[in-house]
């Protein structure tokens, strides 16, 4: 695992963009696994800026998102489908038919998304991390071989996401559909971006702790190609 420590969020976003661009321009039809949340927004802004100023094209790029809430429509402002359109897809030349965001609430919906993923090989999977170490919506205790599935969100995740729902936990969806840890680990390369002191304990456990389902992101120690880009606050507990 390669750890890149940056002074702040903006530098973290720029360094992550450099990793992303190298993959995007490496071959036609590259396949990206994408994430939502506050962590990758700066990276997406860098991608948009580069596209506008340098003409980097995404017309042949194919994307698969990690996860989506269960029980809210795609048109909902807080859906991850809407998030991706507003923060990336609407601002680059990607073909909407090449973008995929999971949707649904049943086992069949999960199996359908997993079958789509089996047809491709993700060249780069972008990840953030939850305070409890979740990746995607794979909460602590998720088996490492789990594929796309429906998950009940933990109270800490619901509380963390309440800021997007008028700070009203009653409005936060209680379930999500997510790529499983087994799905994520099949990607050729993983790029994780993390910022803020509230993530420092999770970062330390991911990099230096035991590999355990109690800390889902720790499984990345077993992946052959991981780049972790963090700001100083998130890296503050690392011993090296």
Q: Which residues are catalytic?
A: 67, 132, 134, 139
Please give the Cα distance from 233 to 7 (Å, whole number): 8
**Any idea of the CA torsion for 88, 76, 64, 182, to the nearest 10 degrees?**
130
Please give the Cα distance from 92 to 74 (Å, whole number): 20
Q: In what order do the strands lie in the sheet with 124-127?
A: 2-6, 226-231, 190-194, 124-127, 31-34, 62-65, 99-100
Place of tokens 């939850």: 130
Place of tokens 């880009």: 229
Please give the Cα distance from 213 to 105 (Å, whole number): 24
From residue 98, how far is each of 51, 65, 128, 209 by CA, in Å?
Answer: 17, 11, 22, 37
């Amino acid at each position: 695992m390669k750890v890149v420590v940056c002074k702040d969020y903006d530098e973290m976003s720029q360094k992550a963009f450099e990793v992303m661009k190298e993959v995007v321009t490496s071959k036609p039809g590259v396949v990206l696994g994408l994430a939502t949340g506050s962590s990758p927004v700066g990276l997406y802004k860098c991608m948009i800026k580069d596209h506008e100023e340098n003409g980097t094209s995404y017309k042949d790029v194919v994307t698969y998102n990690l996860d989506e809430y269960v029980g809210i429509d795609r048109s909902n402002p807080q859906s991850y489908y809407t998030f991706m359109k507003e923060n990336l897809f609407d601002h680059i030349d990607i073909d909407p038919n090449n973008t995929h965001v999971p949707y649904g609430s049943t086992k069949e919906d999960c199996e359908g998304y997993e079958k789509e993923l089996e047809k491709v090989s993700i060249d780069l999977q972008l990840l953030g991390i939850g305070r409890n170490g979740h990746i995607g919506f794979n909460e602590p205790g998720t088996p490492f071989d789990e594929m796309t599935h429906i998950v009940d969100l933990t109270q800490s995740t619901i509380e963390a996401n309440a800021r997007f729902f008028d700070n009203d936990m009653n409005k936060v969806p209680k379930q999500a559909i997510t790529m499983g840890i087994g799905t994520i680990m099949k990607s050729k390369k993983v790029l994780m971006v993390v910022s803020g002191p509230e993530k420092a304990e999770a970062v330390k456990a991911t990099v230096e702790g035991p590999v355990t389902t109690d800390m889902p992101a720790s499984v990345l120690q077993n992946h052959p190609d991981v780049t972790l880009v963090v700001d100083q606050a998130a890296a503050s507990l690392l011993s090296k």
